[in-house]
Amino acid sequence: MKNASLPAFGPKHFGRILGPLMAFCVYILTTNAIPESARLAAASGTLMVTFWITEAIPLPATALLPLALFPTLGVIDVQQAAAPFAKPVIFLFLGGFMIALAVENCGLHRRVAMTVVRLFGGKPGQLLAGCMVATAFLSMWISNTAATVMMLPIASSLTSLLWSEESTLDPSGNHRNVERCFLLGIAYSANIGGLGTIVGTPPNALLAGFLQEHGISLGFGRWMLFAIPLVILFLGLCWLILNRFALKTVSQGREINAATLNSQYHELGPMTRAQWNVLFVFSVAVALWVFREPISHCQWMVECCPWVTRLNDASIAITAAVTLFLLPSNKNTGEKVLDWESASELPWGVLVLIGGGMSLASAMGETGLTAIMGSKLDAILTIPPILLIVVLTALVIFLTEIISNTAITAAMLPILFGLGANNPTSPLSLVIPATLAASCAFMLPIGTPPNAVVFGTGRLPMRTMMGYGMALNLLGTLLIPGLMCLFGWILF
């Protein structure tokens, strides 16, 4: 009888040992210089962050630890620990997820993608731009992973159409290089597009919920006023880099004529009733999200409709989601555009993860730990503000290549907010760049799910992703602080 092989001792096993050890060390080293509740909060937070970084247990499972640790240790009571799991931002994300599921189920996202691609034209650079814009737009509203998976077959089809049937097996390798360029463009634009809205990526939602805990409202429209210019600029520069250095020299003379693109689009058939219904609900929800704040400050509108002042992003999202359960998907059956069987496939773990991060932040604030940590880091404020933001952005961008972006955001927000409270500008000047930077991992397959999806096709060498990813990481290090200094301080 053969001896059973022992499981390999990996980062997860190491994290299960390191987490409690680190927590104990933090508790001992803080001595009695700070209140006991703050010491316990620091130890608990260290345990959670270590588990998140090493993924010792599933990330959402770690996010549930505040419900077990904080009441038991006397950090905060169970009501305070549980309250962040029901914050409005959780329901904003819940409603957003339901809308996204309806968009995917009825095939509206594929129609949007093909419409955008047709508008840009049939030359390789134009097709790449069309794919990137479509992916970025979709990833603002649906999962960036789903947007990437959906765009991959479209991109493969387009790159094949650039070569005739006879030369698909291209001896020069140009067809393969063009395909790699499209794969990179899709992954990178999915990451960039998520920056544009609060529901685009979990770190954005985590920031919105964290700021709510501190009495700061980060509205959907105000976020987009800052983030959409960043997305447009970042996406444009990303396209320039890929088109100039990866595409232009290997796709000379190739083009798909308009008739072929139109044929690809018409294969989708006419708009279905389900698609029209989902498009209507989605459009109304987006319009209300974007214009809610301006409308609430419009005197005549408030006088005509007093209820507009009571609108909030979460209630808009939930109302839109519930409406989808009422609208029919076709005339002949009683099916609705969204049913609970589909809704049950929501990524519930993301909601728990956001709630756990906010619960940790709440405990750190309640015990005074956030303020203590900020005061200990006051020396950093002697650095010029713009340099501080650049260094912070670069640090988070490169850390998020190997650490979950939600985990690093949850860990850093309380520290940066406490530090920013003593900043002559505003705490937002630190937490907003750090949150955006957490979604800008372009170098490694493990950096983000879109990176992993395109790398998993087996058609993209690691060195290619790392080379262009490094360029985009450095670009993000400059763009995010630059726009924050240009008009972010005024806007926020």
The b-or-e profile of 205-218 (16+ CB within 10 A means b, else e) is bbbbbbbbbbebeb
Q: What percent of the chain has pLDDT over 70?
A: 90
Average pLDDT, integer, range 429-435 = 90
Q: Give the closest residue to 128 by CA, choosing from 194, 180, 192.
A: 180
- Separation of alpha carbons 71 and 67, rounded Å: 7
Q: From the DSSP assignment, how many helices (H) and strands (E) are in the chain?
A: 25, 0
For residue 336, which phi and psi values (nearest 5 degrees)?
A: -105, 165
- Separation of alpha carbons 280 and 273, rounded Å: 11
The answer on pLDDT for 458 being more than 50 is yes
Per-residue pLDDT tens digits for 317-369: 899 999 999 998 887 777 889 989 888 888 888 888 888 888 888 888 888 88
Spatial contact of 434 and 396, defined as CB atoms under 8 Å apart: yes
- The owner of tokens 């983030």 is 227
Structure tokens at 469: 């990813």
Per-residue pLDDT tens digits for 207-231: 988 888 777 878 788 899 899 999 9
pLDDT at 241: 92
Q: Give the closest residue to 226 by CA, choosing from 213, 241, 207, 254.
A: 207
Q: Give the closest residue to 199 by CA, choosing from 129, 130, 286, 328.
A: 286
Structure tokens at 265: 């689009």
Average pLDDT, integer, range 263-273 = 86
- CA distances, 118 to each of 133, 198, 262, 268 (Å): 12, 28, 7, 13
Per-residue pLDDT tens digits for 305-315: 777 777 888 89
- Separation of alpha carbons 427 and 416, rounded Å: 7
Q: Is 327 exposed, middle or buried (0-12, 13-18, 19+ CB in 10 A)?
A: middle
Q: For the chain, what is the mean pLDDT?
A: 84
Give the residues across from 282 on adjacent strands.
none
DSSP for 110-178? HHHHHHHHHHH-SSHHHHHHHHHHHHHHHHTTS-HHHHHHHHHHHHHHHHHHTS-GGGSS-TTSHHHHH
The answer on pLDDT for 8 being more than 70 is no
Amino acid residing at 332: N
pTM for the whole thing?
0.82
Amino acid residing at 255: E
Amino acid residing at 121: G
3-state secondary structure of 412: helix
- Which residue would you say has higher pLDDT here, 46 or 214? 46
Q: Where are the domains of the chain?
A: 9-57, 89-343
Amino acid residing at 8: A
